[in-house]
Amino acid sequence: MAKTIDIVMPDLGDFENVEIIEVLAKSGDTVEREDGLVTVETDKASMDIPSPENGVIETLTIAVGDTVSTGDVIGSLTMEVGDTVLITPAIATPITGETTVLASAEDAPSKPAGKQTLVVPDLGDFDDVEVIDVYIAAGDKVEIEDSLVTLETDKAAMDVPAVVAGTIESVLVKVGDRVAAGSSLGIIDAVAGAVPPKAEETVVEKVVPATAAQPAPQPSATEVPKTLPAIDEAGFSKAHASPSVRKLARELGVNLAKVIGKGAKSRILHDDVKSFVKAILTGHSGIPGGSGLPEVPSIDFSKFGEIDVQPLTRIQKISGPRLQASWINLPHVTQHDLADITQLEAKRQELKGPAKERGISLTPLAFIMKACVTALVEFPKVNSSLSDDGENLIYKKYCHIGFAADTPQGLVVPVIRDVDKKDVYEIATELGELSALARDGKLKLAQLQGAGFTISSLGGIGGTAFTPIVNAPEVAILGVSRSSMQPTWNGSEFEPRLMLPLSFSYDHRVIDGAQAARFTTLLGKALGDVNALLKAIP
C-alpha cells in the first residue's frame, strides 16, 4: 500500500530563510532514507537535507536560490507501507565464497509495546568493538531498521539497526565507547510490531572455492582497509558529504578526509568514494586527495612556544583541495614573458579622468582582459578543456574570462561573460561591480561559473613573476605582476619602457612550450596596440 507524506525541512537551529544552493533529486527519483534531497547554506556552513523515508519523489517545490526555514514543506514523497524483508545485521567481511540466506518477515516474531532495552546483536568472533557514530538522541522517533549506532572492528564497520519502532527514552553509549554482543545501547518506548529474526536464524551456505582455471576473484570492498589509510575521525566528521556517502565510506573503510569532492562546493559524491578505492586497488599514486604521497609530519607547535589557532575560512576550505588536485593531476609549466605597455599606460592615464566621471574605474586589467581575447581567438586550445576520459579536447566557442579577486575571506574567481563582445569600458564596469560583490560576499553561483580562462593579477601589490596554478578544468591561467620601467634596446640606444611581467601557466597535456611562447608573444603585441584594444565593438 502506498502512502504519500510531506517532505518537511528539519530543525535548522537558529537559522531562518536559509538559501538552497543545490537540488539533488527530482520528481520520479527513487530515494532511500538519508539520501540527500537538497543542499542548503548558512553563513557558517552548508548541509544536505536528507530524505525522511524510502520512496519515490512525487514533487519538489523548491529551486536553487529559494530560501527555506524549519518546518517548510519542500515536496512530497510516496512510500510503500507493508511487509518487508528484514536483514539481520552482520559485520561486513571480505568475500569468501559464502552466501547468506536470510529469514523473511513472515518468520519474525511479534514484539510487544512498552519500554525495552536496545542491545548489540551477535558480533560473531568480535568482542570489545568501538562505537564510532551515534545516530539517536533522547526523544527521537525511530522505525525498524533505522540505524542506531555504527560500530567498527579492525576489518570493517557496521550499522546496528533498531529491531523495534518507537521513541528513544535514553541513550546509554557515546562515541568512543566499546561494546560487545548484548551490551545496552539505549532504552526505547516501543510500539507493537514484527521484529527482524535473530542473528542465530541466519543460515550460511558454503560455496565450492573457485578452481585455478577460473578467473581470479576481484578484491571485495571490505578488503580495501588493508591498503587504505587509517580513518581520521576528526577529518571524517568535517568532510562535506551526505549521510549516504558517509555510510558508503564507512562500509569501504575510506577516510573521507583524504577524498576530494567533485560535487558542488567540493561535496563528496558516491563516485568520488568509488574512484578513491579504485585508484588504490589499481596501485595508482596520483589519486584524489594526494594518497600515495608522503604524509606531512604532524607537529605539536605549542611545544616551542605560544600559538594561536585560527580556523580556515569557508573559501579557503573549498579552494585548497581544488588547487591541490589541480597541482597534482595537471603537469604544470609556466612561460614567463614581458609586454611593453608604455603606450597603453599613457593612454589609460589620459582616459582615466573622463571614465571616472562616468563612474568607471579604468584599470589595467580591463585592457589585459581585452588583449587576452585576441590571443584566445588565435590560440583556441587555451580556451579548451580535456574531456573527463582524457580522450577528447572540448573547444569553447564562447569567451568567458575569470579573474582572481582578493577578499577578506580569501581568493574568489568571478567570471565576465562574452568578453569578446564587450569594449574596454564595459569590461571595466563589470570588473568593478563583480569585485565589490566579491568583497561583500554577495556573488551568486552563476557569477562564479563558466570561465574558459582565468587571469590572476598581482600588479597592484607587487612582484616580478610567479607561477599561478591552473584553475582546472581550464588548461591555462595568466599571472600578471607589477609593471616597471626598464631599459630597452631599440637598435641604437637604450630607452626607458614600461614593461609588464606575464606568467602563463598551462597544462602540458594540451599546450606545448612553443604554443605557450607564441601565445604570450601575441598577447604582448596586443597589449602594445592600445588603439586596437579601444576599438569599438561592431
Question: Three-class SS string for 57-77?
Answer: EEEECCCCCCEECCCCEEEEE
Type and span of the H or E element at 500? strand 494-507
Residues designated as active site:
508
Level-2 CATH architecture, domain 331-533: 2-Layer Sandwich (3.30)
φ, ψ at 334 (rounded to 5°): -120, 125
98-205: CATH, from 2.40.50.100, 3.30.1280.10, 2.40.160.20, 3.20.20.70: 2.40.50.100
Separation of alpha carbons 94 and 96, rounded Å: 6
pLDDT of residue 476: 97
pLDDT grade for 315, boundaries at 50, 70 and 90: confident
pLDDT digits (tens, 9 = 90+) for 95-126: 333 333 333 334 444 555 778 888 888 776 66
Percentage of residues of the chain with pLDDT beyond 90:
38
pLDDT digits (tens, 9 = 90+) for 317-349: 878 888 888 888 899 999 999 999 999 999 999
110-111 and 193-194 beta bridge pairing: antiparallel
pLDDT digits (tens, 9 = 90+) for 473-519: 999 999 999 999 999 999 999 999 999 999 999 999 999 999 999 99
pLDDT grade for 230, boundaries at 50, 70 and 90: low
**In whole angstroms, what separates CA 464 from the centre of its chain?**
34
Separation of alpha carbons 196 and 162, rounded Å: 9
CATH of domain 218-301: 4.10.320.10
φ, ψ at 271 (rounded to 5°): -65, -30
Q: Where are the domains of the chain?
A: 2-80, 98-205, 218-301, 331-533
Q: Name the pTM for this structure.
A: 0.50
Q: Which of 250, 258, 269, 270 is nearest to 229 (CA)?
A: 258
3-state SS string for 451-480:
CCEEEEECCCCCCCCCCCCCCCCCCEEEEE
Beta-bridge partner residues of 336: 503
Joined together, the cell numbers standing for residue 473 give 578544468
Q: Assess whether pLDDT exceeds 90 at residue 20.
A: no
2-80: CATH, from 2.40.50.100, 3.40.50.1980, 3.40.50.170, 3.40.50.620: 2.40.50.100
Q: Which of 217, 117, 122 is nearest to 160 (CA)?
A: 122
> Of the ranges 212-221, 229-238, 347-356, which is most confident?
347-356
Least confident span in 148-157, 311-320, 473-482: 148-157
pLDDT grade for 219, boundaries at 50, 70 and 90: very low
pLDDT of residue 83: 43
Joined together, the cell numbers standing for residue 187 give 532504552
More confidently predicted of 521 and 123: 521
Determine the 3-state secondary structure of 264 from DSSP.
helix
Task: For the chain, give the mean pLDDT.
Answer: 81
Least confident span in 235-239, 273-277, 380-384: 235-239
Least confident span in 107-121, 216-230, 284-298, 437-451: 216-230
**In whole angstroms, what separates CA 38 from the centre of its chain?**
15
pLDDT grade for 361, boundaries at 50, 70 and 90: very high
The Cβ-side half-sphere exposure at 278, using a 13 Å CA radius, reads 6
Beta-bridge partner residues of 454: 402, 477
**Neighbour-count burial for 468-507, b at 16+ CB within 10 Å, e otherwise:** bbbbbebbbbbbbbebeeeeeeeeeeeeebbbbbbbbbbb
Helix 364-378 with 342-357: angle, nearest 10 deg: 120
pLDDT grade for 162, boundaries at 50, 70 and 90: confident
Asked whether this chain's domains 2-80 and 98-205 adopt the same fold, the reply is yes
Residue 336, number of CB atoms within 10 A of its CB: 16
pLDDT, average across residues 38-51: 75
Least confident span in 140-144, 213-217, 254-258, 359-363: 213-217
pLDDT of residue 137: 92
pLDDT, average across residues 457-467: 92
More confidently predicted of 389 and 496: 496
Determine the 3-state secondary structure of 104 from DSSP.
coil
pLDDT grade for 390, boundaries at 50, 70 and 90: confident
pLDDT of residue 197: 45
